[in-house]
């Protein structure tokens, strides 16, 4: 099997069960790439994951750069298409379905019923990130201040990131 | 009070979201689409994001596909996805090639630790902001907290949370909507603002 196809199939199978997005992807990716297939060692995996999370961009791209690390450009393309293609197709089909059902009186309440689920999951991923980021004593304070800022101030959230970066530079 | 974006609007809007997404795109996505550009109302955004959440794959990526399709069909979906992932992907490939080199600087790591702590606050603050602006009824708040606890404290697999939480949420919302329809006459058009099942009957 050509490498790109191998990567495509591997990452497509990972992405299609990743309900909840990139946060769920990481443990399963680790199991496949490091434990089962020995495509990279533990240290490389952690470094690439940390890099993808620190760099700007959707976290799912951590899979893309793992593919790039393993197989250069063909690995990158195979992994990215695998991560994004099948799930995008699914989202496309669901969007079509909701469009067709737009006039069904139950659709909108039903969709609204999923909102608490999304709120809970967004909150949970925030807490998981906070825990992972608590690598120095003042980290929870930075997290708490950023939370209050985004919650209460109608200003650009990126100021909080900039402040966090500067505090990290000063404190560490 | 929403404004329909053009295709270039979509491309550059999602590019902005992608490039400013540190540790997850949700905080920036909501900021750009709801508060800056008024492409969607808070409620429309929350409902589409919720759908994107229960589907597998990247949440905001799914959102890009669905929102793009809703606005401009296939061209819209492709534009949103390309805008969202394109530049960050190139950037990341460049960074990986450079990493051995930049990672050695202690200052870069220190700043990145601070950014990570703040990024967690961005996500938490976004959940709180959406929650307070949407004013969900008590049972919806209860469900959101139950999902939060199940995921963080009890480490329930996400697939299971969605499999149980989605039907529960939909059932509760449908029941509330029906209870409301039984009392006063509901607004006729689904686009009229107060059609929301989440709002308490009293506060509309």
**What does the alpha-carbon distance between residue A26 and residue A14 come to, in Å, rounded to a whole number?**
10
Domain end residue (candidates: A73, A100, A127) = A100
Q: Which value does ipTM take for this structure?
A: 0.84
**pLDDT tens, position by position, A26-62:** 777 888 898 889 998 877 887 787 778 778 888 899 8
pLDDT for B94-150, tens place per residue? 888 876 555 556 777 788 888 888 888 988 998 999 899 888 999 999 999 999 999
Buried b (16+ CB within 10 A) or exposed e, B32-63: bbbeebebbbebbbbbbbbbbbbbbbbbbbbb
Of the residues A75, A100, A125, which one is the last residue of a structural domain?
A100
Domain co-membership, A117 together with A94? no
**CA pair distance A50, A41, nearest whole angstrom:** 14
pTM: 0.80
Out of A18-27, B6-15, B165-174, pick the least confident. Answer: A18-27
CB contact under 8 A, B81 and A113: no
Read off the pLDDT of residues B155-202 as tens digits, 9 standing for 90 and up. 888 788 888 999 999 999 999 888 887 765 555 555 544 444 454 444
Judge if A144 and A63 occupy the same domain. no
Mean pLDDT of the region A89-101: 92
The answer on A21 and A96 residing in a single domain is yes
Phi, psi of B56 (to 5 degrees): -70, 160
Distance CA A94, CA A90 (A): 6
> Do A128 and A74 fall into the same domain?
no
**Does A135 contact B25 at a Cβ distance shorter than 8 Å?**
no
Q: How far apart are CA A53 and CA B18, in angstroms?
A: 13
Domains in chain A, number: 2
The parent domain of residue A48 ranges over 3-100
Comparing A61-70, A105-114, B67-76, which segment has the lowest mean pLDDT?
A: A105-114
SS3 (DSSP) at B56: strand
Are A126 and A87 members of one domain?
no
Identify whether residues A45 and A113 lie together within a single domain: no
| Residues 156-185 of chain B whose Cβ lies under 8 A from any Cβ of chain A | 158-159, 161-162, 165-166, 169-174, 176-177
Span A147-160, average pLDDT: 88
Q: Which of A46, A77, A108, A113 to mutate to test the interface with B (most CBs of B within 10 A)?
A: A113
Predicted confidence at residue B98, as pLDDT, reads 79
Q: Counting Cβ atoms within 10 Å, is residue A1 exposed (0-12), middle (13-18) or buried (19+)?
A: exposed
- Residue A92: in which H helix or E strand, if any? helix A61-100
* Predicted local confidence at residue B99, as pLDDT: 67
Boundary-marking domain end, from A76, A100, A124: A100
Residue A19, SS3?
strand
Which of B96, B126, B114, B124 is CA-nearest to residue B32? Answer: B126
């Amino acid at each position: 099997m050509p490498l790109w196809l191998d990567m495509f199939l591997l990452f497509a199978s990972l992405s299609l069960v990743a309900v909840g997005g990139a946060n769920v992807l990481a443990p399963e990716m680790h199991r496949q790439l490091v434990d089962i297939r020995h495509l990279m060692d533990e240290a490389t995996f952690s470094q690439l994951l940390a890099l993808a999370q620190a760099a700007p961009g959707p976290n799912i791209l951590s899979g893309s750069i793992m593919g790039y690390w393993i197989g250069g450009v063909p690995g990158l393309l195979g992994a990215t298409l695998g991560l994004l293609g099948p799930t995008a197709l699914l989202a496309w089909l669901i969007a079509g379905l909701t469009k067709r059902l737009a006039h069904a009186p139950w659709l909108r309440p039903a969709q609204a019923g999923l909102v608490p689920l999304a709120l809970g999951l967004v909150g949970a991923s925030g807490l998981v990130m906070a825990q992972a980021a608590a690598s120095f004593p003042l980290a929870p304070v930075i997290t708490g201040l950023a939370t209050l800022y985004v919650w209460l101030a109608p200003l650009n959230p990126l100021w909080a990131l900039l402040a966090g970066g500067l505090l990290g530079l000063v404190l560490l | 009070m929403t404004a329909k974006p053009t295709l270039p609007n979509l491309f550059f809007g999602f590019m902005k979201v992608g490039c400013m997404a540190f540790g997850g795109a949700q905080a920036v996505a909501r900021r750009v689409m709801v508060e800056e550009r008024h492409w969607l109302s808070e409620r429309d955004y929350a409902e589409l994001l919720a759908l994107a959440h229960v589907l597998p794959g990247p949440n905001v990526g799914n959102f890009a596909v669905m929102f793009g399709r809703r606005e401009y069909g296939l061209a819209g979906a492709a534009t949103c996805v390309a805008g969202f992932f394109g530049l960050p992907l190139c950037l990341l490939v460049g960074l990986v090639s450079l990493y051995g080199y930049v990672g050695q600087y202690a200052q870069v790591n220190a700043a990145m630790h601070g950014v990570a702590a703040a990024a967690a606050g961005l996500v938490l603050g976004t959940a709180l902001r959406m929650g307070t602006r949407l004013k969900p009824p008590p049972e919806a708040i209860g469900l959101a907290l139950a999902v939060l606890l199940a995921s963080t404290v009890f480490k329930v697999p996400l697939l299971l949370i969605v499999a149980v939480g989605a039907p529960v949420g939909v059932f509760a919302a449908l029941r509330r909507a029906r209870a409301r329809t039984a009392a006063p006459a509901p607004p006729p058009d689904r686009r009229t603002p107060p059609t929301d099942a989440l709002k308490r009957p009293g506060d509309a």
